[in-house]
């Protein structure tokens, strides 16, 4: 298994701040050669540590988006099956396993309340989901 070192962690941190930063800028800020940054990036991608690059849109620029967090309780050993079903829903932007009273936490986004209502119905009808609690996200005060 591949282990991240300090340079890898600093590179990932810099990319989280600006995923479009030029290699030359990354190299300067990290105090290493461009070739080093290139080889680290290639290795992080090849090992699956970096799974992709994306664009984040400021929440207030998409004012019609309905965003929520859904806490899900899963029956017995159905977690893997439920996760497989949830992965197929494009409205789920992130999915996390957790401990405590809830088994999974899903981050949701739809374009309307009607679509949100339909999504909740689909999630609750998945075999193995025995309980859920969902909260709409009104604004983001820290990201």
Domain extents in the chain: 6-46, 59-136
Among 106, 116, 105, CA closest to 66: 116
- Give the least confident one: 51-55, 74-78, 117-121, 132-136: 51-55
pLDDT tens figures, 53-105: 877 666 556 666 899 999 999 998 999 999 999 998 989 989 999 998 999 99
Query: Contact, 72 vs 27, CB < 8 A?
Result: no
pLDDT tens figures, 7-58: 998 999 888 888 899 999 999 999 999 999 999 999 999 998 888 887 766 6
Architecture of the domain delimited by 59-136? 2-Layer Sandwich (3.30)
2-26: burial string, b at 16+ Cβ within 10 Å, e else: eeeeeebebbeebbeeeeeeeeeeb
CATH code that applies to domain 6-46: 1.10.10.10
Q: What is the pTM of this model?
A: 0.62
């Amino acid at each position: 298994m591949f282990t991240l070192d300090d340079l890898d962690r600093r590179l990932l941190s810099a990319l989280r701040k600006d995923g479009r930063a030029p290699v030359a800028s990354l190299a300067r800020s990290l105090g290493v050669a461009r070739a080093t940054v290139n080889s680290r990036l290639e290795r992080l991608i090849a090992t699956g540590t970096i799974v992709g690059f994306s664009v984040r849109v400021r929440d207030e620029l998409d004012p019609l988006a309905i965003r929520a967090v859904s806490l899900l309780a899963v029956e017995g050993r159905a977690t893997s099956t439920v996760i497989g079903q949830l992965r197929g829903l494009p409205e789920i932007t992130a999915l996390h396993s957790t401990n405590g009273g809830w088994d999974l936490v899903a981050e949701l986004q739809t374009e309307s309340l009607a679509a949100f209502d339909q999504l909740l119905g689909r999630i609750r009808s998945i075999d193995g989901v025995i309980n859920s609690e969902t909260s709409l996200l009104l604004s983001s005060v820290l990201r």
